[in-house]
């Protein structure tokens, strides 16, 4: 199973690279697979490469679902609560 993580492009660097923000954590990412990428675009990143451009609503929904799943697992196992 592969996991793609949504993020927001904040800066374009040289040679097809850029900085992507993943909810406050920034990483250098290979943006060369997405034509005409620009700061402010949202992308799905897998293994250090942006593999798809997505809209903001997709990212908000995905992060909401991840948060709900994490909360369920943590509460079910009584280890921690996000609230």
pTM assigned to the model? 0.79
Q: Is 49 exposed, middle or buried (0-12, 13-18, 19+ CB in 10 A)?
A: middle
pLDDT for 81: 56
Distance, CA of 73 to CA of 59 (rounded, Å): 21
Backbone angles phi, psi at 17, to 5 degrees: -105, 160
Q: Which one has a higher pLDDT value, 56 or 75? A: 56
Kindly report, residue by residue over 12-69, the tens digit of the pLDDT: 999 999 999 998 999 999 999 999 999 999 999 999 999 999 999 998 898 888 889 8
């Amino acid at each position: 199973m592969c996991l793609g993580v949504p993020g927001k492009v904040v800066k374009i660097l040289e040679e097809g690279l850029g900085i992507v923000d993943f909810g406050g954590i920034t990483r250098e990412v290979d943006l060369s697979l997405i034509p005409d990428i620009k700061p402010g675009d949202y992308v799905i990143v897998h293994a250090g490469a942006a593999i798809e451009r997505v809209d903001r609503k997709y990212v908000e929904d995905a992060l909401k679902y991840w948060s709900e799943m994490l909360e369920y697992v943590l509460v079910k196992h009584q280890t921690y609560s996000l609230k």
